Structure 1
């Protein structure tokens, strides 16, 4: 089954302002920072009713929440916030990002990259393609490409940016090399506000 590499859905929520208000009211405890990402993540999820069913229809594959991820949690990233990693992949079957920053504040988006040394734009998941790239298994490839070069910007070429737009959902293969775009704003109300989605096979 071939899943779409990237989908962009505008006007995803029927009432995005209500979702944004709830997102901003969530608790963004700095002590809840477990990942390598910049900014702060909410301690509780932002519930979107019927999400799994909607996404499953869009990609023609049943999905559920991926365990041990920040599925449906929100993240606020302000100007100057730094993370420990850069270009990365996601531990999921499929990934999604819903933009909740106001139209007048939106900057950047989500960036996708090609690895210069290998020419790869994603981690191949079939053994022949992994071997063609010069590796014996997928873990060796991830270690040598993603983990080794995550913060080495000179090792990557940006091939595409999906621009941030209020109430835009992007869905994409977690194996694509990607990174969050520009952080901005001095307060959560004007900062980069997104909802994260990490799906497992349903």
Structure 2
């Protein structure tokens, strides 16, 4: 089974790199709660059962740093059972006003990691601002599944940090599909982005957002499966 995420994360280069000349400036849209992102608390009444079921999984797939994958930590599918997922999707439709949402099944894209549980420790990854693929999703969401993870390990929205202290944009629009397409490069200096909005981590919280906005986990936590930052991730078209 392969896991091909609908996002292309940026890895800071191994050594300092010169800022690419003429890096495009993206359009900016201030992330606004209720328009660009939604925070829904106490999502599942059986959240402890969901977490216990995820902890008991024996089919975890290891990413970086254990294996040379572009994604960190470990993953398994599915995160939620059909009834639980249906409840989440009702909340998503209500929040966004979308009459219908669905998960794409892209040809030749391997196993799409919608409804996937992932656990990432504090030493396994750093924040990696990215956008999700416009061809695969309009909305994305993360459900926080670890009760003891600090609030500063939630999710942040980012924007460009340009030379001279100027601020750039945070959106990927047509004709581009993701952040790599829009910038024309995968490798950028680590100071190319700056945090704009931070949504704190909270157990059983669903953060739903427009998938073309630049975002990343604010931070990771823990060293064992039981205390790592555990989330379920979702991607929908509408």
Tell me if TM exceeds 0.5: yes
Normalising by the smaller structure, the TM-score range is 0.7 to 0.9
Does the aligned pair in 2 maintain the 1:115–1:145 contact within 8 Å? no
- Aligned equivalent of 2:55, options 2, 24, 30: 24
Equivalent in 171, 186, 199 of residue 122 of structure 1: 171
Find the aligned partners of 1:9 and 1:34 in 2 and give their Cα distance.
34
CA RMSD of aligned residues (A): 2.7
Structure 1 residue 34: Cα displacement = 9.1
147 and 110 in structure 1: CA distance in 2 versus 1, 3 angstrom threshold:
farther
Runs of 5+ consecutive residues of structure 2 not aligned to the other structure? 1-33, 107-111
CA contact (8 A) 2:74 2:120 kept: yes
TM-score by length of 1: 0.80
2:203 is the alignment partner of 1:158 = no
Q: Is 1:75 matched with 2:107?
A: no
Whole-Å Cα distance in 2 between the matches of residues 164 and 141 of structure 1? 25
4+ aligned runs moved over 3 Å, structure 1: 31-35, 139-142, 146-149
Distance 1:139 1:97 in 2: 21
Q: How does 1:70-109 map to 2 (within 5 A)?
A: 70-82=113-125, 86-91=128-133, 92-102=137-147, 104-106=148-150, 107-109=152-154
Which structure has the highest strand share of the two?
1
Cα pair distance change 1:200/1:41, threshold 3 Å: same
Say which SS state the counterpart of residue 44 (structure 1) adopts.
coil
CA contact (8 A) 2:80 2:115 kept: yes
Task: Please say if residues 98 and 168 of structure 1, whose CA atoms lie closer than 8 Å, have aligned partners that are also in contact.
Answer: yes
| Alignment partner, residue 235 of structure 2 | 198
1:116/1:110 CA distance change after superposition, 3 Å = same
Q: Does 1:179 align with 2:213?
A: no
Go from structure 1 to structure 2 and tell me whether the alpha carbon gap of 1:31 and 1:139 turns closer, same or farther (over 3 Å shift).
closer
The answer to whether the Cα contact below 8 Å between 2:172 and 2:182 also exists between their aligned partners in 1 is no
The alpha carbon displacement at 1:120 in A equals 0.6
